[in-house]
């Protein structure tokens, strides 16, 4: 089976590269370290039976140029970059496991909360300029936390927050009363969550319903003292509206790990003093990278075993 590893993080990890080459003889990895898209992606995968993708976009236009492709193994979580229906139409199987990097994302999200609540980032920035400004901010304890999307990551974040005695508001497309009772959180409407939360953390996939979900209408509802955190997908938040909200004190501050365009091109956004930004690292702790890579490799092994069994 000809396997092509498109993802940069997977390709840079020697443990994962050695493991996949142990199981498959014909493996080519993305050695250039650039995100593959469009024609570059097609050229890289043109003779592949199977590919490993992370955030690389796989749609009908790509699939029709890859006539040999039978399997796609997802490195990471979230499959909004893969047109599942187009894959089904062409008989391409997609291997995906949710939640493999949930603790990595929830840990970073919790870190954002503490950094912004306790003024760690601003204090550090001032101290580098030898400005001795003592402002310890606010405690995270007993704050009202709004979580949009209670999937694997949202649920894990709620567990981490349990020691802080926060009041947790949650909104999801489906409600799980037994889970809310067990973890002691309350399902509320988005409107209630926007208006009453001290911190809002987003954990939703990108689709037609969630694109630009967080916009000026939402910022006008939020408390002026509130914090927005997005570790899901960049296009869930309107960057133009977020910049306005941060510049005009509609909200207190924000933390972003994802952006409308990646790598980020919006200098105005990252240069604001009341935002912290990281380059899509939430799900990429060393441990999570190995877990996600192992998951992708296991899907390829299973695909290959099934093919041999059928023969």
> Measuring CA to CA, which residue among 276, 228, 217 is closest to residue 252?
228
308 assigned to active site = no
Token pair 């006008």 is found at 220
Nearest to 99 by CA among 150, 51, 56: 150
**Catalytic position from the list 203, 252, 280, 299:** 280
Quick check: is 262 catalytic? yes
Active-site residue (options: 217, 262, 265, 306): 262
- Bridge partners (DSSP) listed for residue 93: 71
E strands, 86-219, in order: 93-95, 144-148, 167-171, 186-187, 199-202
* CA gap 106, 131 in Å, rounded: 32
- In whole angstroms, give the CA distance from residue 67 to residue 81: 20
Q: Could you confirm whether 90 is annotated as catalytic? A: no
The sheet that has 2-5: what strands, in order across it? 26-29, 2-5, 50-53, 71-74, 93-95
Convert 276-292 into a string of H (helix), E (strand) and C (coil).
Answer: EECCCCCCCCHHHHHHH
Which residue in 103, 203, 233, 299 is the catalytic one? 233
Tokens of 235: 């296009």
Residues present in the chain in total: 311
176 burial type by CB count under 10 A (0-12 exposed, 13-18 middle, 19+ buried): middle
Q: Which three-class secondary structure state does DSSP give residue 165?
A: coil
What the block records as the tokens of 1 is 């089976």
- Pairing of the two strands 144-148 and 93-95: unpaired
Catalytic residues: 233, 262, 280
């Amino acid at each position: 089976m000809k396997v092509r590893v498109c993802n940069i993080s997977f390709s840079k990890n020697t443990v994962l590269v050695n493991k996949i080459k142990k199981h498959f003889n014909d493996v080519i990895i993305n050695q250039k370290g650039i995100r593959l898209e469009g024609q570059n992606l097609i050229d890289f995968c043109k003779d592949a039976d199977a590919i490993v993708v992370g955030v690389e976009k796989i749609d009908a236009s790509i699939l029709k140029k890859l006539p040999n492709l039978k399997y796609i193994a997802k490195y990471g979580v979230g499959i909004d970059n893969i047109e599942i229906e187009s894959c089904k139409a062409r008989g391409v199987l997609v291997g995906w496991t949710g939640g493999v990097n949930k603790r990595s994302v929830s840990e970073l999200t919790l870190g954002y909360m503490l950094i912004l609540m306790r003024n760690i980032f601003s204090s550090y920035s001032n101290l580098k300029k030898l400005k001795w400004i003592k402002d310890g901010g606010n405690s995270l304890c007993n704050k009202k936390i709004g979580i949009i999307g209670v999937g694997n990551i949202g649920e894990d974040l709620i567990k981490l927050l349990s020691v802080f005695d926060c009041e947790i508001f949650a909104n999801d497309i489906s409600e799980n009363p037994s889970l809310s009772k067990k973890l002691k959180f309350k399902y509320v409407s988005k409107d209630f969550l926007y208006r009453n939360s001290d911190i809002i953390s987003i954990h939703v996939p990108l689709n037609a319903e969630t694109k630009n979900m967080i916009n000026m209408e939402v910022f006008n509802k939020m408390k002026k003292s509130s914090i927005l955190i997005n570790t899901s997908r960049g296009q869930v938040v309107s960057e133009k509206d977020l910049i306005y909200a941060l510049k005009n004190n509609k909200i207190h501050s924000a933390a972003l790990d994802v952006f409308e365009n990646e790598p980020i091109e919006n200098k105005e956004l990252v240069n604001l003093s009341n935002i912290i930004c990281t380059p899509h690292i939430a799900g990429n702790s060393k441990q999570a990278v190995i877990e996600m890579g192992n998951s992708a490799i296991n899907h390829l092994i299973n695909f290959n075993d099934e093919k041999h069994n059928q023969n």
